[in-house]
Amino acid sequence: MNRWIPLTLVLVLSAVLTWMLLGWKTDTEDADPYKALQLAQPPRGGDFTLTSAVGPVSLADFRGKVVLIYFGYTWCPDICPLNLSYLRYALDGLTEKERKRVQVLFISVDPERDTPQRLSRYTAYFAPDILGLTGTPEEVARAAALYGAVYRRGEVENSAMGYAVDHSAYTYLVDTSGALRQSLDHATPPDRIIAAIRSQLTTGDKP
């Protein structure tokens, strides 16, 4: 008979603890000063699946490689070509062995005009191992949101371009396990891109 009291206590306390750990949601986010100031949350990155000229491609396909992700578009008049050139110089500065463990993804923020084939031709101007990706507007938006990238279409008067797309110009560095590690500024010099890639390749080699 004496056992029933502690047994009941154990069962009740187990249930309470389980609820506290799994189901209890205190609004501690209100205690987050960044949230109180309505500041943007740091991007966390994450997996996505988009379309290349050779079919669907997922970020998860490149586990074991360091991935550099850049959001841009082929009609981009200035900053995309500059950034892709710097990425190409960085790739050229790696050893052959290192380069095999690096993938550059160029994700179009202009899915309306950038077909997978057009993207493939465009990225090939810079380097054969830069992969152009596109998708439905929703798929592209979802991938951009994961990395904190924004883009917006703006009309350009008196231009054959028709419209331009304002967009974030970071290059996102993803490590060999698929985690977002760093956002490189626009026009980061190739030697600094190489150093950032190598720091992740070295980390990825550790057991």
Partner 1 sequence: MSITSRILWTLAGLLFLAVVVVAWLEVGPMLHPSATLVASLDDTCDLRKGYCEAAFPDGARVTFGITPRRIPVVEKLQLSVQTEGVDARRVEVDFSGVDMNMGFNRVTLARTGAGEFSGPAMLPVCVRARMTWEAKVLLHTDTGLMAAPFRFDTYLPGQEPSGAAKEAGLE
* Binding region for partner 1 (CB under 8 A): 2-3, 6-7, 9-10, 13-14, 16-17, 20-21, 24, 26-28, 30-34, 36-37, 39-43, 76, 78-79, 148-150, 152, 154, 156, 164, 166-170, 185-187
Min. distance of Cβ 26 from partner 1 in angstroms? 5
Residue 29 or 92 having the CB closest to partner 1: 29
Q: Please give the Cα distance from 157 to 179 (Å, whole number).
A: 41
Matching residue, tokens 């590690």: 181
Q: Please give the Cα distance from 87 to 91 (Å, whole number).
A: 6
Residue 13 or 179 having the CB closest to partner 1: 13
Residue 67 or 169 having the CB closest to partner 1: 169
Q: Please give the Cα distance from 159 to 163 (Å, whole number).
A: 8
Task: Tell me the β-bridge partners of 126.
Answer: none
Residue 113 or 186 having the CB closest to partner 1: 186
Min. distance of Cβ 129 from partner 1 in angstroms? 25
In the three-class reduction of DSSP (H, G, I as helix; E, B as strand; rest coil), residue 29 is classed as helix
Contacts for 144 with CB less than 8 Å, ≥ 6 apart: 71, 107, 109, 150, 151, 168
Structure tokens at 157: 């008067």
Min. distance of Cβ 161 from partner 1 in angstroms? 11
Min. distance of Cβ 66 from partner 1 in angstroms? 21
Residue 63 or 141 having the CB closest to partner 1: 141
